[in-house]
Amino acid sequence: MSSILEVAPVHGSARKAPRSVTEVYYTICPVFNAANVAVELGWLDEEFKKVNAKAVYLRSLPDNKGWIPHYTHSLLNLFRDGGAIPTIQAKADLADTKLIGLTGTQSGGQILVRAQSDLWRVADLKGRKIGLNRSLNKDKIDFVRGTAERGILNALALSGMKRADVQIVDLDDADDHRFEPASKPSELWSQNSGRRLATGSAEVRALKEGVVDAIYSHAGRSQTLVETGEFKVIEDLNNHPDWTLRVANGPITAAVNTQFAEEHAEVVVAYLRAAIRAGRWINANREAAAAILHRVTFYPTVAATARAIAGFDFIPNLSPKNLAGVEIEKNFLRDHGYLKKDFDVKAWADSRFLQEATDGLQGQ
């Protein structure tokens, strides 16, 4: 990771940019958040320009060098906006960051089986095999497994079952993906790796070939798989009134390095201004937002994306409920061996930047 730190321009670096411009990296997961739209609408660049900052997409680094830091937050001047699991692990064990915004747009996930199987409910999985992803890449957290493991255990609990009532089968995944450099997220995902990776994964192959009887699947991927006619969903954790079942690599977290935030509060505020503006715009323009979000996420169509985002509030916040969601996710990871150290979520969250960004946008 040290080589990456060397190529990373430190803010205010005289070599890369003349004095006043602060270069800062950002990286965004393929999830439903306002930052993805702020980038596409040019509002991130616009807000950064106002404070003499320049946003550099982490994945524009050559030789796949932006990939691992996307998970480990190993740069000194990085905004990471996306799935909660890597953000939480980075905070716990790897990097000193601040939590600056949350978005509650994740979906709980589903249990997928073969369409022709005689399985109608999770209770029918008693004694059967459920596949669980296992990444062989030790340089990053296995967030796929962390998400699926929580979803599977929740689905079993809803059916009055425990882990021991089924056979959890580890399915190894090399997890050594390479991407071409991209100037922004939509360019990265247009390499089409996301959808293909999701539907051709070891879990899906194992289910298709009968190695396992069920897998956990994110709703976006499920839709694509269900459309083939080969699979069906027997449990949807979104169908329950319990919101904690929807904590699945979520809530969506925006985090930034602590030292950078302290030295460049104006850049953090600018980031959130762009995100809040985009969030308001998404809330008021769902159809158009779906068309943009479709380019950076994995639901099969624009219409499916529109259905998936209906009703969500995209304006980043640090609401008690979203913070409680992070706490639930963190505790799950801690209790299941994904984290080495625990930490205090409330102390991690710093609402000053969000407050200032919101205040600055009053009347706009």
Partner 1 sequence: MSSATLEREPKTHHKPAALTEAIYTICPVLVASHIAVHKGWLERELKKAKGSLKYLWSLPQENWLSHFNHTLPNQFRDGGNIPAIHARSEGQRTKLIGLTFSNDGGQILARVGSGINKVADLNGRKIGLYQRVKTDRVDFWRATAQRGILLALDLAGLKREVEIVDLPVDGPDYYSSAPTQNSAERFGVAANGANNHYGAEIDALLAGKVDAIYANRGRAHLFQRDGKVKAIEDLGRYPDWTLQVANSPFTITVSEELANDHPEIVIAYLRAAIHAGRWIETNQDEAAEIFGGIISQWTGKCQLKSELAKYHFVPNLSPKNLAGIDVEKQFLLDQGYLRKDFDVTQWADSHFLEEALKSL
Min dist. Cβ of residue 155 to partner 1 (A): 11
Q: Is 53 or 111 the residue whose CB approaches partner 1 more closely?
A: 111
Sheet holding 231-236, edge to edge: 167-173, 129-135, 214-217, 110-114, 231-236
Angle, CA 325 vertex, CA 321 and CA 330 arms, to 5°: 145
Identify which of 217, 227, 233 has the alpha carbon closest to the alpha carbon of residue 119: 233
Task: Candidates 23, 173, 203, 235: give the one binding partner 1 (CB under 8 A).
Answer: 235
Q: How far is CA 262 from the centre of its chain?
A: 25
Query: What b/e sequence results for 300-328 when a residue is b if at least 16 CB atoms lie within 10 Å of its CB, and e otherwise?
Result: bebebbbebbeebbbbbbbeeebbebbeb
301 binds partner 1 (CB under 8 A): no
Angle, CA 254 vertex, CA 36 and CA 251 arms, to 5°: 90
Q: Is 116 or 190 the residue whose CB approaches partner 1 more closely?
A: 116
Task: Candidates 150, 232, 294, 330: give the one binding partner 1 (CB under 8 A).
Answer: 232
Contact mark string toward partner 1, 100..139, x via CB under 8 A: ----------x----xx-x-xx-x----------------
Contact mark string toward partner 1, 68..107, x via CB under 8 A: ----------------------------------------
List binders of partner 1 among 311-340 (CB under 8 A): none
Min dist. Cβ of residue 232 to partner 1 (A): 5
Residues 42 and 202: their CA atoms lie apart, in Å, by 37
Token digits for 207?
């289910």
Min dist. Cβ of residue 110 to partner 1 (A): 6
User: What are 22's strand-pairing partners?
Assistant: 53
Task: Candidates 226, 268, 272, 323: give the one binding partner 1 (CB under 8 A).
Answer: 226
Helix 286-294 and helix 302-309: axis angle, to 10°? 120
Task: Candidates 183, 190, 191, 239: give the one binding partner 1 (CB under 8 A).
Answer: 239
Min dist. Cβ of residue 274 to partner 1 (A): 34
Min dist. Cβ of residue 251 to partner 1 (A): 23
How would DSSP label each residue in 154-202?
HHHHHTT--GGGSEEEEEEE---------SSHHHHHTT-HHHHHHHTSH
Identify which of 76, 103, 107 has the alpha carbon closest to the alpha carbon of residue 90: 76
Task: Candidates 46, 93, 187, 236: give the one binding partner 1 (CB under 8 A).
Answer: 236
Task: Candidates 230, 242, 262, 342: give the one binding partner 1 (CB under 8 A).
Answer: 230
Task: Candidates 183, 190, 228, 355: give the one binding partner 1 (CB under 8 A).
Answer: 228
- Residues lying near partner 1 in the complex (CB under 8 A) are found at 110, 115-116, 118, 120-121, 123, 226-230, 232-236, 239
